[in-house]
Structure 1
Amino acid sequence: MLRIGENRANSSWASVARHANAVEHLAEDLRRVIDGRSLPQLDTNHTPVVEQWFIEKFIVPTLVGFITYPGDSGEHHGQRSSMSFTAPLHLFSLQQGIARSSQRWYRVGHPSPVAEDSLRRWSVDGEF
């Protein structure tokens, strides 16, 4: 959440610009999905994969799991032994194994044992 015009803890203008760019990229990606009536083919060399995933309800849906970034040893994004979570999700396809957060695309790997229940909580009709 960006904060502007408060006595303390305001976001920097650089933070506002980064957020605007991220949202702009999200909008562009969603427009491509609509225009092409299909989801993109993700480059496995540049798209992180989330293993043992499930969707958590903080206030918005987020993807939780072991996130592996291509070419990254894990030093900067957490080790395999600790779970992490994405920015809020805006698009999710179990069938094609991809998700789009407000920040980037993710490939969806193996689900966790609670994934089915987590999807049910966020589905329109309550079904998996």
Structure 2
Amino acid sequence: MDLLRFGESDFNSSYLAILRHGRRAHELSKDLFMICEKERLPSIETLVAPLVENWFIAERSVPMLVGELRQPRGLSFQHESFGAFECTTPLHLLSVRGKLARTTNHWYVLGQPALDATESLNQWDFRAGGSAAAIVVKKSSRG
């Protein structure tokens, strides 16, 4: 994600870049408010979102989802990222049980976690108990 700049003598962001960033932030905000309002995640069945297989959380200054991207169900277009091992925009919400992740730009459906997903998830679990590990282990052991 780029740092927006405005009111500088040089290197200002374009109005279009500022508008795009605002739209992404607004969509993210709407999604998060909807979760609180309805007290549930959106339905995976109605969500058009890429599937991420062999996923884990990247060790960066902000959490980022990493994994193999797969084409969303019901869509027949090809994208260069599909099938590739990719890193998403910053991760804002993760539900291992709900099999969904929301980044700055998109929803993602979570497939099978990578072998080191538990460890990568625990680094972002600020509660000392590390309960996130149990969730990942239960999901991955179901096969």
TM-score range relative to shorter protein: 0.7 to 0.9
Deviation at residue 45 of structure 1 after TM alignment: 6.8
Residue equivalent to 1:74: 79
- 1:120 counterpart residue number: 122
Matches of 2:49 and 2:123, distance apart in 1 = 26
Provide, for residues 72-115 of structure 1, a one-character-per-residue CA deviation record: whole Å limited to 9, x for no partner.
4333x2x52x4111111111000111000111111011111110
5+ residue gaps in structure 2? 134-143
TM-score by length of structure 2 reads 0.78
Q: Across the two proteins, how many residue pairs are aligned to each other?
A: 124
Counterpart of 2:107? Answer: 105
The correspondence for 1:7, drawn from 5, 10, 33, is: 10
Matched, 1:18 2:20: yes
Q: 2:62 aligns with which of 60, 63, 76?
A: 60
How high is the TM-score relative to the length of structure 1?
Answer: 0.87
Deviation for aligned residue 1:67: 1.3
Over the matched positions of the two proteins, sequence identity in percent amounts to 34
Q: Which has the higher contact order (CA 8 A, sep 6+)?
A: 1
Cα–Cα, structure 1 residues 58 and 6, in superposed 2: closer, same or farther, change >3 Å?
farther
- Aligned-residue Cα RMSD (Å) equals 1.7
d(CA) in 2 for partners of 1:2, 1:123: 29
Which has the larger Rg?
2
Does the Cα contact within 8 Å between 1:46 and 1:69 map onto a contact in 2? Answer: no
